[in-house]
Amino acid sequence: MSEIICDVCMHHCHLQEGKTGMCRARRNVNGVNVCDNYGRLTSLAMDPIEKKPLYHFYPGSWILSAGSYGCNLSCPFCQNASISMTDERTAYYREVSPEQLAELILKQEDNLGIAFTYNEPMISYEYIIDTARLIRPYDKKTVLVTNGCISPHILDELLEVTDAMNIDMKGDRQFYRELNGDYDTVRRTIETSCKKCHVEVTTLVIPGKNDTDAFIEEEAKWLASLDPDIVLHLSRYFPRYKYRIPATERNEIYRLTELAKKHLKHVYPGNV
């Protein structure tokens, strides 16, 4: 039985024949790295673009949002754990081809396009690319809401068809170790993407984890060095999934927002 190494993200999972990696979405099929959740949608809804959140990308627009199952991180505070932490055996999904999804996107003239969100979209990059290529001639936009933990060559392919991203910046290097993520990979994704498409960054502010003045100020300084106009969202955390840490105080979100504004022009409090 042939083992392969998945190169889609930094984990480089060793996949035995028929097995999936930690993301639950990439499978070894006859020695080929296959997108196992291709076209398997668990969620489909029309959302305001601001919900992604994207505040400076066609504000006031509505966009069709689609999600599948699986994620390559293990965030114990995940708000969508019922789909991101599941696989084909436990997720309830519907098969939707790129052609069928494109038809839904194009059906409404006032729909901006498609946002791949809810779970981690980049692990299903083939489905994103196939769909985006169908809607691009009609000037429909492709948006990714992502944790940013992706290999550079996959990111390059996605950037060819992506118009906007909201990328999580979850914390410092130590916090990413707790989440089975990679701090440097996320920073590289943000740095590369903001040169190619519209990028906004979100940090879910969690007490005792990533709410220090030092981290928020360092994050804001670094983002400003990339682009002083880049948008940062500081969102209020609530207990979810495995975390029972009390919710972030509203006043703390407002205070940290003002701190970040010392370096960035556009910082918005979220979930307050």
Residue range 42-58, pLDDT digits in tens: 999 999 999 999 999 99
Render pLDDT for 192-227 as a digit per residue (tens, 0 to 9). Answer: 999 999 999 999 999 999 999 999 999 999 999 999
pLDDT at 215: 98
Domains of the chain plus CATH, in order, are 38-270 (3.20.20.70)
The CA distance from 2 to 17, in Å, is 6
Mean pLDDT of the region 71-95:
97
Q: How confident is the model at residue 2 (pLDDT cuts 50, 70, 90)?
A: confident
Averaged pLDDT score across all residues of the chain = 97
Residue 109 clears pLDDT 90, i.e. is over it: no
| pLDDT score recorded for residue 1 | 63
Phi/psi zone of residue 215: left (φ > 0), alpha (ψ -120 to 50 degrees), beta? alpha
pLDDT tens figures, 9-43:
999 999 999 999 999 999 999 999 999 999 999 99
For 18, counting Cβ atoms within 10 Å of its Cβ (0-12 exposed, 13-18 middle, 19+ buried), the class is exposed
Neighbours of 214 (CB within 10 A): 8
> What is the structure's pLDDT at 108?
87
Q: What are the CA-CA distances from residue 70 to residues 17, 33, 36, 182, 237 (Å)?
A: 19, 16, 10, 17, 22
